[in-house]
Amino acid sequence: MKWRHSDATVAVMFLAPSLIGFAMFYLVPFATGVGYSFMDSTVDGQFVGLENYNALLASDSFRKAASNTFLFTIVTVPLIIAISLGLAMLLNQSIYIRNMLRTAYVLPLVVPVASIVVIWQILFDWNGSLNAWLSYFGIARVDWMKTDAARNVVIILYLWKNVGYNIILFLAGLQQIPKDYYETADLEGAGRLRQFTDITLVYLTSTMFFVIIMSIINSFKVFRETYLMAGDYPHDSIYMLQHYMNNTFLSLDIQKITAAATMMVGCILIIVIGLFVLERRFRQFME
């Protein structure tokens, strides 16, 4: 008992600097921001209840940004899960080009964002490489970043940038599944689809849960690339919540920024809690 108490004390001492830093730079500022979202000013402000939130929901620009972010997430997350899982299963097999494919999916993880944006600007500019190829084949040029096509460009950029990380996670999960299970399933006459649903997906439940959460978080971080490619006020189809908060910050409307951030964090928490509940119920169902 004495040893356990001493061990716990040592663990707390090692964790204390990180916990203090996390509290100072994340928890305390966020809690302060939540408090500001219910005030009419950051200096000697008065409590105004949900007035800032009502003003936020009445804003056309906020509704546009929220709907674009929500649409982007529900489209890209299932896409990146399906693509990364399929590629991970392909790379888990003994194929000739496996090493080349592994190099290809790791490259986006190590290339700086600024370099990525330059490449994509060269590809999708009005006078860029892609339009040059379209003109060569007699197809009309497309103003990629100033039309609804901008959403497709950002979706492709998000998939290309993040699929490699998900592949690594799925590969780690796939390699933990004993090969004996698949051999037994083959002997019992189970087809590929049955093996995928009853073995692969079941044993990848924890990995799948983590990958979905990380994909959702990364979908909210696509603002960085979008901002560098299209600036403060991009085409309406790619005007995200982070654009709204960034532009609102420039006008120093702290109350609206904190209200928007609080609502975004609340939505993410609801999604994550919902995923936890779904994972627990799925585990109970499989048991």
Q: Is residue 39 part of a domain?
A: no
Tell me the CATH number at 162.
1.10.3720.10
Q: Is residue 46 part of a domain?
A: no
The mean pLDDT of 63-70, rounded to a whole number, is 90
Burial of 77 (0-12, 13-18, 19+ CB in 10 A): buried
Q: Which stretch of DSSP H or E encloses residue 233?
A: none
Q: Choose the weakest-confidence range: 154-163, 205-214, 216-225.
A: 216-225
pLDDT > 60? residue 4: no
pLDDT digits (tens, 9 = 90+) for 250-266: 777 788 888 888 888 88
Q: Choose the weakest-confidence range: 9-23, 153-167, 185-199.
A: 185-199
- In this prediction, residue 233 carries a pLDDT of 81
More confident residue, 7 or 258: 258
- In this prediction, residue 96 carries a pLDDT of 66
* 8 Å CB contact between 56 and 50: no
- Provide the domain count of the chain: 1
Q: What is the rounded CA–CA span in Å between residue 114 and residue 94?
A: 35
Q: Is residue 15 part of a domain?
A: no
pLDDT > 50? residue 190: yes
The mean pLDDT of 1-5, rounded to a whole number, is 52
Task: Collect all residues with Cβ–Cβ distance below 8 Å to 176 and sequence separation of at least 6.
Answer: 203
Q: Facing residues of 39 across strands?
A: 47
Tally of CA atoms within 13 A in the half-sphere of 254 that contains its CB: 14
Tally of CA atoms within 13 A in the half-sphere of 68 that contains its CB: 26
Q: How far is CA 98 from CA 33, 56, 101, 174, in A?
A: 48, 50, 5, 15
- In this prediction, residue 95 carries a pLDDT of 66
Q: What is the rounded CA–CA span in Å between residue 94 and residue 100?
A: 13
Q: Is residue 193 part of a domain?
A: yes
Q: Is residue 1 part of a domain?
A: no
More confident residue, 3 or 49: 49
Enclosing domain of residue 260: 59-286
From the centroid of its chain, how far is CA 204? 19
- The torsion angles phi and psi of 39, rounded to 5 degrees, stand at -115, 160
CA distance between the termini of the chain: 35
pLDDT digits (tens, 9 = 90+) for 227-286: 888 877 888 888 988 888 888 887 777 888 888 888 888 888 888 888 888 878 877 776
- In this prediction, residue 286 carries a pLDDT of 64
- In this prediction, residue 80 carries a pLDDT of 94
Of 197, 194, 201, 200, which Cα lies nearest the Cα of 179?
A: 200
DSSP line for 89-126: HHHTS--TTHHHHHHHHHHHHHS-HHHHHHHHHHHHST
> What is the residue-averaged pLDDT of the chain?
83
pLDDT digits (tens, 9 = 90+) for 116-163: 788 888 888 888 888 889 888 888 888 888 888 889 999 998 898 888
Q: Is residue 7 part of a domain?
A: no
> 98 pLDDT band (50/70/90 cuts)?
low
Q: Is residue 50 part of a domain?
A: no
For residue 256, count other CB atoms closer than 10 A to its CB.
Answer: 20
pLDDT > 90? residue 93: no
Q: What is the pTM of this model?
A: 0.82
- In this prediction, residue 227 carries a pLDDT of 83
Q: Is residue 109 part of a domain?
A: yes
Task: Give the largest Cα separation in the chain, rounded.
Answer: 80
Task: Collect all residues with Cβ–Cβ distance below 8 Å to 238 and sequence separation of at least 6.
Answer: 68, 150, 151, 154, 226, 230
Q: Choose the weakest-confidence range: 87-91, 153-157, 159-163, 189-193.
A: 189-193
Task: Collect all residues with Cβ–Cβ distance below 8 Å to 214 and sequence separation of at least 6.
Answer: 165, 166, 169
pLDDT > 50? residue 1: no
- In this prediction, residue 284 carries a pLDDT of 72
DSSP line for 264-280: HHHHHHHHHHHHHHHHH
Q: How far is CA 136 from CA 48, 49, 119, 125, 143, in A?
A: 60, 60, 20, 16, 16
